[in-house]
Structure 1
Amino acid sequence: MGTILTDTDQTFNNLVKTVSSFDEGQLNEIPFEGSWTAGQVVQHLILANSGFIEVMQGPVKETEREPDQLVTRIREDFLNFATKLQAPEFILPLPIDYSKTRQLGTLENIKSGLLHLIETTELDKTCLTFELPVYGFLTRMEAVYFVNYHTQRHNNQLENIYQHLLRSAS
C-alpha cells in the first residue's frame, strides 16, 4: 500500500506544480488550433478524477481475479503519448475561462480524498458503480492507478501546452 500512496501523492504534487506554473491568462489561452486550454485540461481531470472517487466510494463486491490485473494495461494505454485518446462526453470541459485558484483547491481536495480512500478502504474490492468502456469494472486499486496514469498523461499535456505558450510569447 505504501507504493500506491506514494505514487498518488507524487502524481498530484507534480500536477499542482505544473498547474501553478501557469498564470491566469496562460491557463485560459488556446495554445494552438485544436487544443484545449490548460484550464480545460485541468477541468477534464477534475471531472474524471472526482468521478472515480465517487465510484470507489460506491458499492463493491469481492474480486474474482487478481485485483491489479488491469494496472499494466492501463499504464501502457495512458502513458503511450503517441496514442490520441478521445474523452467521453460526460467529462468534456466547457470552453470557458477557469480560475487557477479554484482549480488548484479542487485538485488538493481530490488528492486528499484519494489518499484517504487508499488508506481506509479495501483496494482489492471491485467497484460496481460504473463500468468503463474497454476495461469493464475496476477494482479500487485499478481505479487509483487509472486516476494516476490518466493524470500523468494530462500533466505531460499541460507541460507541453506551457512550453508552447512560452515559445509563442517570445
Structure 2
Amino acid sequence: MSQLINDQLCETRNNLVEEIKLLSDTQFNAKPDANSWSIAQVCHHLTLTEASFIRLIAWALKQEDSKQAERKNILIIADRTKKVPAPEFVVPAEDLFTVQQIIELLDESRGKFTTFLDTIDDPSLLTEKSYKHPFLGDLPLDQWIELISIHEQRHIEQIKEIKAFIKVEH
C-alpha cells in the first residue's frame, strides 16, 4: 500500500474518531428522524463497507477475466448533495452501540483492511483489474481503496450534520 493512501486512511479515521469520541451514548444513538441513521449507525455502516471492500477486492483479484477500467472521478462520492442509497449488505443494524464499541469495531475493520492490502503480492494488479461500483460503473481496484477515505469523509460530514441537528456542542 502506498504511503499516501496509508496517510489518507489514517488521517480520515483520526478525523472520524475525533468527531465521535466525546459523544455520550445517548447522543451517539440519537436519530434526527425515523428515516435517518444515528451517528452510531453511520459508523457501523463504515465498518460494514470496509469489510465488503476487502471481499470484493479479493474476489476481483482472483478473476482471470477482470478487465482494466478507465479511472473515474471518485471525488463525487464525497458530495453530500447527491443522495446515494446504501446497498443492503452495508445497511447498519438498528442496534444501539456505545462509542467505545464502535471505536473498537472501527479499529478492527481498519486493521483487517490494511492487513489485507499488505498481503497483495502484486499491487500492479490493482490498476489492471476492476470491479463494478453500483453508481460509478467499472472501477479500477486501486480506486476502490482510495474510495474508503472519500466515503468516510462523506460520512464525517453527515455526522457533523447529525450533531448539529441533535444540538451537540463542538
TM-score (norm 1): 0.80
2:147 partner letter: F
Distance 1:63 1:117, change over 3 A: farther
Per the alignment, residue 68 of structure 2 pairs with 64
Is residue 31–residue 164 contact of structure 1 (8 Å, CA) maintained in 2?
A: yes
2:40 partner letter: G
Q: CA deviation at 1:118?
A: 4.0
2:129 partner letter: T
1:86 partner letter: P
Moved over 6 A (4+): none
Is residue 43–residue 103 contact of structure 1 (8 Å, CA) maintained in 2?
A: yes
Is residue 49–residue 90 contact of structure 2 (8 Å, CA) maintained in 1?
A: yes
Q: Identity rate of aligned residues, in percent?
A: 24
Q: Would you say 1:124 and 2:123 are equivalent positions?
A: no
Structure 1 residue ranges without an equivalent (≥5): none
Is residue 40–residue 95 contact of structure 1 (8 Å, CA) maintained in 2?
A: yes
For residues 91-142 of structure 1, the C-alpha deviation after alignment (integer angstroms, 9 at most, x for no partner) is 21232212322211111122223333444421334256xx322334433311
Alignment of 1:1-170 (within 5 A): 1-32=2-33, 34-60=35-61, 64-65=68-69, 69-70=71-72, 73-76=73-76, 78-121=77-120, 122=123, 123-126=126-129, 131-166=132-167
RMSD value, Cα = 2.3
Q: CA deviation at 1:158?
A: 0.7
Is residue 68–residue 140 contact of structure 2 (8 Å, CA) maintained in 1?
A: no
